[in-house]
Amino acid sequence: MYIGGRWVDSVSRATYQARSPASGEMIATLPEGTREDAQRAIAAAREGTERLARLSVWERAKLCARVADVLERHKDELARTLTLDQGKPLHSEAKAEVDATVAGWRNAADHVKWLETSVIPVEDPHKRVLTIRQARGVYAVITPWNFPLNIPTEYLAPGLAAVNAMVWVPAPTTSVVAVKLVECLEEAEVPAGAINLVTGPGPVVGDEIVAHAGTDAVAFTGSSATGEHIARRAAGKPLLLELGGNGPTLILDDANLEQAANAAAFGAFFNAGQVCSAAERILVHRSVHDEVANRLVDHATHIQLGDPFDERTQMGPLNNQPVAEKTDRHLADALARGAKVLAGGSRARGWPTDLYYQPTVLTGVARDAMINREETFGPVAPLIPFQTDEEALAWANDSTLGLVSAVFTRDLSRAFWFAERLRTGIVNVNDSTNYWELHIPFGGVAGKRSGVGRLGGRHTLYEMTDLRTICLDVRRLDQG
């Protein structure tokens, strides 16, 4: 673990083994952190805030840019470690995630320099009111295993740029690549205590940094259930929570079907479906249902499963048994409620581990099926036919989740009709639910279980800072 600028073992000396989801082989031994380790990291972060406070905005921007330079130099090693640890294909996905990670640090360097605030007109002629952005202090940051380089960067880079010190708990199943990332931060000479890494079980080290009085705010990406638990444990602290989704994708009768099917396939199968914005419900007008189904089946049956280091591989294994078991449960429930398998439908056989899953296409999914109600997080494309726009909207909004949706139509008025009524934080028109760029605001909608706040570019900087209002009486200043 990395605490206060030093690499340390757990105080308990306990360790756990990291294994490749693709081969099952042990790839590293990691410290199993304790609550005492988390407390040490919080204390180190508190000291780190004092070092960071001495850096000007331009110095912090240069620091973030320096991190990006170091990451760029180590991009091949980072990509290979990412594939080994997470299981995603090296050539088609891991290298792209490393590129996004580099861009995330460069973006933070750019955005923090132009984080302008306002002078507010007021009634009193002797008053001048202005606002400034200030750090919140020590952040607890907890991140998942699906994008174990890019998602941490979404918090660590703007958090550092905004002068917050952080205690970071990565997912246990992808902590090997987390160590590699922190090695790069150390090489870039990030001040001691500014970013601290604690590895180990979330219910122990994650819970400690969330609930401890020494952390001032909490940032988390993960499941809705875990996010809600964190919100309770962090009661009273500022929260930035990016939680689950089930990506309703609506394909209307006037859509470009080739474009729509390609985008829906990408939304369902990219990263083996392990994306919070994945197209987990595909609502298709009855008049075009069969054609869309055939196109999706064609996509699913031509995806090349395999060794994630092989250039030919398009989909690697799922990352861990819990996500594979949830996919099993959701499929079994859908079939029990009348759904039919058009392609795939089970784990793939003949691989070193049982985490490989067949790209799956379903049709006839019932409204009360788990796969329609919850986040599956596996490579499944469930098709749901509808007849009218109103019916499609009702189906799409009939969910407790509201992160990202997509609509495919050639009619601008229909596009806006849906975009203004779909209960999701983002609506993509004529593109996949997975479309996003690093500076675009990303997050859920009020009243749903998809999170609080917005990630993305300057929006994360807003979330990870406090707005300070300063009121000056210039008359009294003149009077001395």
Provide the 3-class DSSP secondary structure of residue 477.
helix
**Rounded CA gap, 451 and 375, in Å?**
14
Question: What token pair was written down for 326?
Answer: 């949830």
Amino acid letter at 179?
V
Q: Which helix (H) or strand (E) holds 72?
A: helix 57-73
Provide the 3-class DSSP secondary structure of residue 161.
helix
- Catalytic residue at 276? yes
**Rounded CA gap, 2 and 195, in Å?**
8
- Catalytic residue at 242? yes
Report DSSP letters for 393-454, one per residue: HHHHH-SS--SEEEEE-S-HHHHHHHHTTS-SSEEEESS-TT---TTS-B---TTSSSEES-
Report DSSP letters for 24-62, one per residue: --EEEEEE---HHHHHHHHHHHHHHHHHHHTS-HHHHHH
Amino acid letter at 146?
N
Question: What token pair was written down for 353?
Answer: 């581990």
Q: Are 471 and 477 in contact (CB under 8 A)?
A: no
Please tell me which residue in 208, 242, 375, 463 is annotated as part of the active site. 242
Q: Which helix (H) or strand (E) holds 75?
A: helix 75-86
Q: Are 253 and 176 in contact (CB under 8 A)?
A: no
Q: Which helix (H) or strand (E) holds 227?
A: helix 224-233
Q: Are 371 and 365 in contact (CB under 8 A)?
A: yes
Amino acid letter at 122?
V
**Rounded CA gap, 53 and 56, in Å?**
8
Please tell me which residue in 276, 280, 375, 463 is annotated as part of the active site. 276
DSSP-derived pairing of the beta strands 360-363 and 340-343 = antiparallel
Residue 390: exposed, middle, or buried by beta-carbon count in 10 A (0-12, 13-18, 19+)? exposed
Q: Shortest CA distance to 144 belongs to which of 280, 242, 49, 260? A: 242
Report DSSP letters for 329-376, one per residue: HHHHHHHHTT-EEEE--SBPSSSSSTT-B--EEEES--TTSHHHHS--
Provide the 3-class DSSP secondary structure of residue 275.
coil
Query: What sign does the dihedral 383-385-390-391 (CA atoms) show?
Result: negative
Q: Which residues are catalytic?
A: 242, 276
